[in-house]
Structure formats: C-alpha cells, structure tokens
Amino acid sequence: MVADLSAGNPPRSLASENGLPAGTPSRGVLSGGTSTDDTSSRDVSSGGVRTGHSVPSEAARQVFLQSDVRAMQAALAQAELAGANGEVPVGAVVLDGSGKVVGVGFNRCIGDRDPTAHAEIVALRMAAAAVGNYRLPGASLYVTLEPCAMCMGAMLHARLARVVYGARDPKTGACGSVLDVHASPVNHQTIVQAGLLEPECGQLLRSFFGKRRADAKRTKSSLSGS
C-alpha cells in the first residue's frame, strides 16, 4: 500500500483532495509549451534543460485540471528526493483511473546501480505491484522530465491512458523532442501532454546541474592550487 508522499506515502486521491472533484478545471493552468534553459537528460554528465525548442501548437493550447497540477507537484516532491540522494532530480507518480496514487518513484540509477531505474520505471513497478497486474489501463503517469525511449516503451506496454510531463528533454526526449515513440503505429495509443509546471520542473534540473558544475569548478581550483 502506498502512503504519505514525504515518506514515500502519497495521499489516497489527488483528484478529490481539497474538496475538488476529479473534473474540476484549474483557472488558467496552461502548458508552458517551451523548454527550459540549458541541456538536460538522465545522463549525470548532462546539465540543465534547453530553451528555444519548438513545441507543437496543440501542446501550447493544453489546459490542465487542478488535479493534474497536484499530481505534478507530487512528482516534483519525488524529484527533490532524487536530488537529495545525488541523483538527477526527476520524479514520477502514477494515478489509477479514480485518481488514487498507486505508484511513486524518483531516479535511482546511481544508488541502485541500475541503468533502467528511471523515475517512471520505478513508479510503474510500484503501481503494477499495487494493483496486481502489469497492465495499467486507465492510469495516468506524471513525470517532471520528458520520458526517454525506454520509459515511453514501458508505458505503452503498461497500457497507460495518459502521460503528462513537465520539462522537455532535447537530448533524449521520446515524446517529440528527439523521438516520437507514442506516435508510432503500435497496438496501444497513449495520450501525451507536455509542459505542466514546466518552469518549476526545469528550475529543479538547472539548480542541480548548476551546483554540480560549481562544485566541480571548486574542486578543480583547489587541486590546481595545491
């Protein structure tokens, strides 16, 4: 069973939290439609996210519900846990069709010594275990960074109804930035929406990589001066 988010245990239903029904629209919450500054991917040698990436006009017109915003905020909380553990700060949550959180995850590649331990994969594994099925029809996954090809493939296999992400990844993004995996002629179609809380998602990545560069510069300066 999944419980309080700060300890890896999310609330029972983000859709009905704060008295708002699942279909309550937010007031003017639009997808950002643009990428963030710098360049980012799950690769720990990358740094930040890049601006200036063109975005399909339909993405710029997307309107998100308040329940979507809360779900992405939960994913951001997971991303912060990743950063605190020295991992690239990407987080994900999975909601079932009723809006109940059934899986959470953050990047664990370094700590787990597992190249597949991206936030989305970790969250999918938890969700599948929670519902007792590797198929997750009707479920939605929210992730702070555009999924890579591996993660998008896994989400299609899981039969997710929808994927929502925050910042674009111009290096490895598989939802339109580099590849467009979900648009391939496969036997399951998943709706993909971009740009939810994109400034917050991008800033988290920029701060992480900015600190990493600053630390590396200080180390280099210290070594050269000794």
CA 81, chain centre distance (Å) = 13
Note if 17 is an active site residue: no
Specify whether the CB–CB gap between 170 and 151 falls below 8 A. Answer: no
Instruction: List the structure tokens of 130.
Output: 């929670």
H-state helical runs in the chain? 57-60, 66-84, 109-112, 119-131, 149-157, 198-225
Specify whether the CB–CB gap between 186 and 156 falls below 8 A. Answer: yes
Marked catalytic residue, from 17, 80, 87, 120: 120
28: left (phi over 0), alpha (psi -120 to 50) or beta: left
Residues catalogued as catalytic: 120
